[in-house]
A and B are shown apart, each in its own frame.
Chain A
């Protein structure tokens, strides 16, 4: 709501700087988003009277002489189609500054001297949307009632000397969506009682209340008032009203439409005016629309009405979408003579939904949806009739048709002074508190600590004691509250154990040189299960923004591969990324969320350097990093098993599923060629990564540990060089070695793998280093030899391997 500072002066005596007032209102009631002073930045704009005006042959230009209150009239060349002798216009003199900080200088146009410029409203800063239709494409011409003289500044006449406060209201403060409401609010803030006047209307026409059969569903419109005016002279509104309208962001149309808008601005009650001819069959009905009914609105859009839209009909067809916008078929036109005025309360939810449904939120609908003052219906309709009587020579017929007239009892909220102080942390006396309520215009019954606060209907946001706490708090001033810390029994802050462990793992991988990424949880249904070993039912959103963000991811890898693609497209191919976050599924009919950790590498293990001390990232590098992570969180590596398995999106022969204690915990491998080939940026690249399920791994971890001393006896190392069939895996060999090595084998390491021309086809050689240690005694060669013999025998028996 754009609130005029000058208009507020009708209700209050304000003497503070409008910016200071705005700051005060912001801190106390409603945020003022902006204070505009329309004349700011403008210079040397005066009223001029066009003395003569003649067309310049062969051009659209006019040569004029304009009296600007100086000794000599100014010669001005003007291109506007509507310039004419006798008009009072806006003149930008030599040296003037108009909108957009543009400077006006005298000059020559087509060889003719021009000593200034005759302006349209847009040229001096008006928004297109508020300029009256007749002046949109030309210069502005002052109406007769403007009472301006040549040479005067134009600002006051056009309302540009005003300050416009933009009330950025929250939904609960719709009471300030009117000048009267704003005046109550500002009055409470500056401690003044606003002068809100009643209406004294003279009805001089006949009683009309029996001439129209009005049927209203009370649930749809609990209050529905109508008045009739005859002999209406349709013409522009007086300038003072136009000024107030355009300063509030509303375009003046004609006196009838303007009055309905003006009353809405003044009281907050949306109004509507129908051409009385609309109801010439003597019927008016308020009902829900029927399926299949259509209505062409004032904005000339035809809408298919929904059975939940409230409509006003002429007994047959809809003529208005209630609370939202009128129909073209009941519009006020230049030919209108008789007018029916409507002032009503409609169901807020139905109006809100209708406005949303038809993408047509209006000044009226936005007020209805937030609520309007139930006590303002009659005043609004009478005030509108009064203004039309004055400005449109209308005759007001006697009586109001009150088709429905549900009364709303003002709320009485009972609470205590001490409760309010308790919540605020203040020590405001009962006397001061009652004074605050008095500033707000709330009557209080007071008995010791107990208070009963009578809340007028204009403040329908207040219903419970907590609402009164807010009123007292804000008028007392949040600036005046103390700043304290809660005085409570001691509490122990911290993370959950699971969270602690996740944080530790993140710290480890970060230390390994990985950068943390955060990706979107929503992805495409296909990507959501790519890189997932056993996809579960997807979590899909209704009405996604687009199909590539329609399903919740079941793995993190997809986000990291997207990130890789984004970076590769920008020539960033050295990547080491990780993400720790949730994946989601709908397995077994419940929504499940699991914490995962994933990493993705590409490029080199070290930054490229002049010593060439780096190598390309490969499966084993990534596996080594993961092994370090497992070691660092205390996972027994003996229990970790890698099995070559196929996983969608992963390289079929370079991918392993990872098991700990036979439980699937994640996967590691290379991103499939099928994926990288399909992505222009990633084509030909090798990406390796892993993803592990922390919800499975974390419960396996133990907290705390006992240290064992460093060994006191020397260990014995032996090497073992084997020639094995190519399809025998390291895992298989290690299993045999371990099961035959006896209890003193403490470490088993692969020290070399060779496949190639120096050995027979179909074979590979693997060399191991074995470490034996007896923690309690010195190991003898005999014991170790014995173990080695057993290992050799085992390898020969189980895997047919010859030791070289």
Chain B
């Protein structure tokens, strides 16, 4: 057989071998056999001396063509094999993405503190300092400084936990007002504060009463603070908490430590003012009490009430949370049932 026949045969056989290889190892073997240093093509080149000189060029050319063809085919087959391996690997690695993930535990803020934090950051943004006072308060700060002398009828409205004749669990955060008023240096700056905290009343616990709850006191005092400023401030608070589309109204009310005193209602967000059980068919929901600081409160703290004046407000945080989240039992805040608390994981701010 002459070289040309051999080459022809190799051509066919080689392509057949390459085609048969289905893994990289076999393919490498084929590569060595065909185009390796001791492979078939090299062997043919080595046997060139048997070829007639006039044909050598042609044989050389054919061998090179065949080498190129084999290399091309080997590379292509290799790519196919690699691809097939990868496909197999990926198939093996396949997971069910619909199986559930491994969950850690998610923390949550207590609903009352969700409301509190929101209000605090709101007031801080308006230049209010957050001030904390003692929960075990004296009769002096809780009542007398707040224009509630002993025997004042309003004291009956607030059943008080007394510890002894002078010390008590505060029934209101207003004591913080008195303490701050006494210390504040008005020659340096106006006073703007909010005072959040726990308060206590001697009420039996039921769906609407709790012997412990949370209040936030607000106080602004300077030379030119007006009741119009109070109105504007309260409207902003009410809309911030209950929605910009709420209507508000001020009603005259009575607190011993403010004069005039008002309460603010917002239009019922359940019935939009038409009347329903939540608003007791009035269309309005009472949300806070406020007023202009009573001159006696200022004078008690050594402040000249003819020069300085201002407003104060009190917000019931439990009440806000009850209204905002549609809660019908105040005890839910203090039993710490995780099925209840869990819901507030989304209420982060």
Contacts and interface: CB of A to CB of B under 8 A. Distances in A.
Contact of A486 (B204, B233, B292): B233
A324 to B, nearest CB: 15
Contact of B135 (A30, A469, A495, A582): A582
A466 B156 CA distance: 24
A332 interface: no
Given A356-B156, A481-B228, A499-B132, A609 B294 contact: no
Contacts of A478: 231, 249-252, 262
A493 B162 contact: no
B260 A473 contact: yes
Given A478-B231, A516-B108, A567-B337, A542 B127 contact: no
Contact of A607 (B105, B123, B229): B105
A543 interface: yes
Interface in B101-152: 101-110, 112-113, 120, 123-132, 134-136, 151
Given A466-B295, A469-B292, A495-B124, A613 B102 contact: yes
B222 A486 contact: yes
Most buried by A among B104, B113, B225, B338: B338
A334 interface: no
Contacts of B204: 545
Contacts of B249: 27, 478-479
Given A491-B127, A496-B130, A542 B164 contact: yes
A493 B163 contact: no
Contact of A545 (B202, B231, B262, B335): B202
Nearest to B263: A31
B98 to A, nearest CB: 12
Contact of A520 (B112, B262, B334): B334
B309 interface: yes
Contacts of B13: none
B220 interface: yes
Contact of A512 (B99, B107, B109): B107
Nearest to B255: A170
Nearest to A614: B102
Contact of B225 (A488, A491, A495, A572): A488
B226 to A, nearest CB: 3
Contacts of A484: 226, 228-229, 231-232
A728 interface: no
Contacts of A510: 107-109
B175 to A, nearest CB: 13
Given A172-B254, A545-B204, A577-B336, A425 B135 contact: no
B259 interface: yes
A522 B212 contact: yes
Given A481-B228, A495-B124, A470 B260 contact: yes
Contacts of B128: 491, 493
A632 to B, nearest CB: 14
A610 interface: yes
B224 interface: yes
A467 interface: yes
Given A510-B108, A545-B202, A171 B253 contact: no
Nearest to A467: B259
A539 B136 CA distance: 9
B189 interface: yes
Nearest to B137: A591
B231 A481 contact: yes
A469 to B, nearest CB: 6
Interface in A529-554: 539-545, 549, 552
Contacts of A516: 107-110, 113, 341
Contact of B108 (A515, A610, A613): A515
A563 interface: yes
A606 interface: yes
Contact of A493 (B108, B123, B225, B333): B123
B162 A541 contact: yes
Interface residues of B, number: 89
Nearest to A520: B212
Contact of A485 (B101, B189, B229): B229
A163 to B, nearest CB: 15
B153 interface: yes
Interface in A591-611: 591, 593, 606-607, 609-611
Contacts of A424: 226-228
B10 to A, nearest CB: 57
B167 interface: yes
Contact of A483 (B110, B224, B228): B228
B235 interface: yes
Contact of B252 (A470, A482, A491, A542): A470
A609 B335 contact: no
Contacts of B112: 518
Contact of A606 (B102, B107, B132, B156): B102
A370 B153 CA distance: 8
Given A30-B252, A541-B169, A481 B136 contact: no
A514 interface: yes
Contacts of A611: 102
Contacts of A485: 229, 232-233, 236
A572 B338 CA distance: 7
B132 to A, nearest CB: 7
B100 interface: yes
Contact of A541 (B127, B161, B341): B161
Contacts of B105: 513-514, 574, 576, 606-607
A465 B306 CA distance: 10
A521 interface: yes
A127 B232 CA distance: 44
B231 A352 contact: no
Contact of B292 (A466, A493, A522, A559): A466
B246 interface: no
Nearest to A469: B260
A226 interface: no
Given A171-B153, A370-B153, A474-B252, A426 B228 contact: yes
Given A478-B250, A540-B163, A609 B169 contact: no
A172 B335 CA distance: 38
B163 A606 contact: no
B11 interface: no
Given A369-B153, A494-B130, A613-B102, A570 B259 contact: no
B339 interface: yes
User: Which of B108, B162, B169, B227 counts the most chain A CB atoms within 10 A?
Assistant: B227
Interface string A489-529: 11111111001000000000111111111111110000000
Contacts of B157: 171
Contact of B259 (A470, A479, A494, A560): A470
A33 B282 CA distance: 8
Given A425-B227, A486-B225, A491 B341 contact: no
A473 B227 contact: yes
A487 interface: yes
Contacts of B260: 466, 469-470, 473-474
Nearest to A591: B136
Contacts of B259: 464, 466-467, 469-470
In this complex, the member of A26, A478, A490, A572 whose beta carbon has the largest number of chain B beta carbons within 10 angstroms is A478
Contacts of B341: 515-517
A804 B180 CA distance: 66
Nearest to B188: A489
A28 interface: yes
A545 B333 CA distance: 19
A575 B130 CA distance: 32
Contact of B102 (A422, A473, A496, A609): A609
Contacts of A509: 107
A333 interface: no
11 contacts: A423-B309, A466-B260, A478-B262, A481-B231, A485-B232, A488-B220, A495-B120, A518-B113, A521-B200, A607-B103, A610-B99
Closest 3 CB pairs of A and B: A425-B226, A425-B228, A513-B105
